[in-house]
Structure 1
Amino acid sequence: MNLSVITESVFTLFFIILVGVYGNRKKIITAQINKGLIDILIQIALPFMIFASFLFTYDESIKTNVIKTLYYSIAAYIIMVAASHLLLLPIKNDKKIILHFANVFVNTGYVGFPILNSIYGSEGIVYGSIFNMFFVILVWTYGIILYKGDFNKKELGLEIRKILLNPSIIAVCLGLMIMISGIQLPGVILSSVRNIGSITGTLSMLIIGTILSEVKIKNYVKDWTIYYGIVTKLIIIPMIIYFFSILIDESSKSINTVIIMAAMPASAMTSILAEQYNKEKDYAAVIVSVTTLLSLVTVTLFLKVIL
């Protein structure tokens, strides 16, 4: 893998983030417009990108790696949850909830998929989609429990329904069906699906730029937990998972994809749920914004280690 290509891809994304910042400062991308962009990304562009990633010729090694990615993703989430609990013992109150959620739930959609696409192309998106499937399942169960405390029976049923109807989960299921059955779609459909999915990266970075421009980071400059949380999220936990891959003596696109995803910044859901449940919402916005900004550097360095 040409590392200069990776660096160029990451900083291209960074440039688009700056355009998002400019758009917000000039009131071109307002809060209402940004909400609409997020809906387009989550409900349309990202599912199309995921589905499109399954629409190419597979060999047996790729199908084997899909199965491996299932196991590696489960192991990664177990490691992230356990490591985060131990590392965050010094943190108290709601800040601990924010940081733990941020450690476990990474930004697969806005940042992870565009970077995977630039490194491994469609094959990387396939493996990333498997990792993202567990993200969707866990964020609406374990993630909600972290913020809310628990579920009653009725709420649990509603959340399970949300998971099953999530566009990204549906896209993965349809993609797997296409992959297993070997169905060939007409060229016009292939082209349409890929064109819609191709806007994911640009749209994601514009959204992040808009979010970044709204956060008053200077109010948290003296808060040591911010710095501790950033180091934990972007360096320590990804390195633990990387050392796990060394321990099992595995080096493949499937496990590298899981490691790369684990190195992504905090998910935007960290901030969204913090606001919904009124738990340190400004603090959560800072964690999401700063980890996103710094990840453009840490992920680039991390890729040089694992690739």
Structure 2
Amino acid sequence: MSLEIVINQILVLFFIILIGYAARKKDLISEEINKGLSRIMMDITLPALIIYNIISVELSTELLNNLILLTVITFISYLFVLVLSSITSNKITKDPHRKTVFKTLLIFANVGYMGLPVLNAIYPDRGILYGIINNIIFNIILWTYGVYIFIQQDNPSSKGIKLNKILSNGLLAVIIGFILLGLNIKLGPIKDALNSLGGMTFPLSMLIIGSSLTNVKLSTIIKDKHIYYLSLLKLIIIPIIGLFILNQFNIPDILRNISVILLAMPSGAIGVILAEQYNGDYKFASEGVFITTLCSIVTIPLIIVLIDIL
């Protein structure tokens, strides 16, 4: 992997985040506009990106085997992080609202908005496709276990999951993409349109992140020791443990590398959304997303260097 390309791509993403932040501060992006941009990205540009990347690959036995293997690796990775988050959150705080947010920020990384652009920079031919597999499993766990732990924070005996959330436009796009790929249907100019729409996903996602971080104050963050624990675990310890475990098995390098890189992504903004919706520690969630995103500019390249060394 070319470290120069990775660092350059991360800096590009960070500068777009800064533009989103400045635009929100200047009221060029209001809360309503930010929600509108999020819906456009989730319902139009991201599905277009998914379909385009799926139908653009050449089917092979190796590719199918890799997709199956990556699915297994990803499920196990999430299970590992889920167990680790439960152990560490119980030791770090007794506050049920902060504990829930801490677990959420550890488990659910920014594998979509930030993960896919980084993978695309490193593996332009297969990165998006493999990243999509991770995103599918991410959504399944998010809208089942992720919602469940928030419901439980105030009502430990309650049960409930939003299974309808699993059936997102992103998952529908995956299904459509593989159907088109399997039937070898040629889309002609529609494929070019999907490519153009999909190309808007990454700039939009960075603008959305930047706009969402305007309520965070650095002066309060530096006093919160839980932010340091979160950043250390999320950005360094978890991906390093994942790398050492995966190195014990005969796994194709591209699958190992992608799995570890996605483990090294900063906490996802979805943690803030869930905290706000379910009366969680919204402030801590915002601070955690901001700091892990900021620190990831340094830690992601370091993890990639470690991957190359090992």
Coarse TM-score class (shorter-chain normalised): over 0.9
Residues 114 and 200, structure 1, Cα contact 8 Å, conserved in 2: no
Structure 2 unaligned blocks of 5 or more? none
| SS in structure 2 at match of 1:222 | coil
Give the 3-state SS of the residue equivalent to 1:108 in structure 2: coil
Residues matched between the structures, number: 302
- Give the residue type in structure 1 aligned to 2:291: V
1:126 pairs with 112, 124, 129, which one?
129
Tell me if the contact between 1:54 and 1:122 (Cα under 8 Å) persists in the aligned partners: no
CA displacement, residues 185-229 of structure 1 (integer Å, 9 cap, x when unaligned): 222011011111111111111111112232123223211111111
Supply the distance in 2 between the matched residues of 1:19 and 1:220 (Cα, whole angstroms).
22
1:3 is aligned to 2:3? yes
TM-score (norm 2): 0.92
Matches within 5 A, 1:183-198: 183-198=184-199
Q: Judge conservation of contact 1:103–1:232 (CA < 8 Å) in 2.
A: yes
Query: Structure 1, unaligned stretches of length 5 or more?
Result: none
Question: Take 1:240 and 1:176, find their aligned partners in 2: how far apart are those partners?
Answer: 33
Query: Could you tell me how far apart the structure 2 residues matched to 1:3 and 1:91 are?
Result: 35
CA RMSD for the aligned pairs?
Answer: 1.7
Question: Are 1:52 and 2:52 an aligned pair?
Answer: yes
Residue equivalent to 1:240: 241
Runs of 4+ in 1 over 3 A off after TM superposition: 150-153
Matched to 1:260, the amino acid is I
In the alignment, structure 1 residue 25 sits paired with structure 2 residue 37: no
CA distance in 2, matches of 1:252, 1:51: 25
Q: Is the 8 A contact 1:101 1:143 kept in 2?
A: yes
Give the AA of the match of 1:194.
N
Query: What aligned pairs does 1:196-207 form with structure 2 within 5 A after superposition?
Result: 196-207=197-208
Identify which of 109, 112, 115 aligns with 1:109: 112
Which residue identity lines up with residue 209 of structure 2 in the other structure? I
Mapped pair 1:95 → 2:102: no
Equivalent position SS for 2:137:
helix
Q: 2 CA distance for matches of 1:293 and 1:255?
A: 25
- Paired with 2:98 and 2:178, the residues of 1 have a C-alpha distance of 39
Asked if the contact 1:211/1:289 (under 8 Å) is kept, the reply is: no
Identity of aligned residues (%): 35
Contact kept, 8 Å, 1:87 with 1:232, in 2: the verdict is no
Q: C-alpha deviations, 1:145-199, integer Å up to 9, x for none?
A: 111117978x54xx222312x01111112222233x2513222011011111111
1:34 corresponds to: 34
- Determine the C-alpha separation between the residues in 2 that align with 1:173 and 1:152: 33
Task: Tell me what 1:80 maps to.
Answer: 81
- Cα offsets for 1:218-275 (capped at 9, x unmatched): 2232111111111111111111111111122434212322211111111111000101
**Distance in 1 of aligned mates of 2:270 and 2:16:** 21
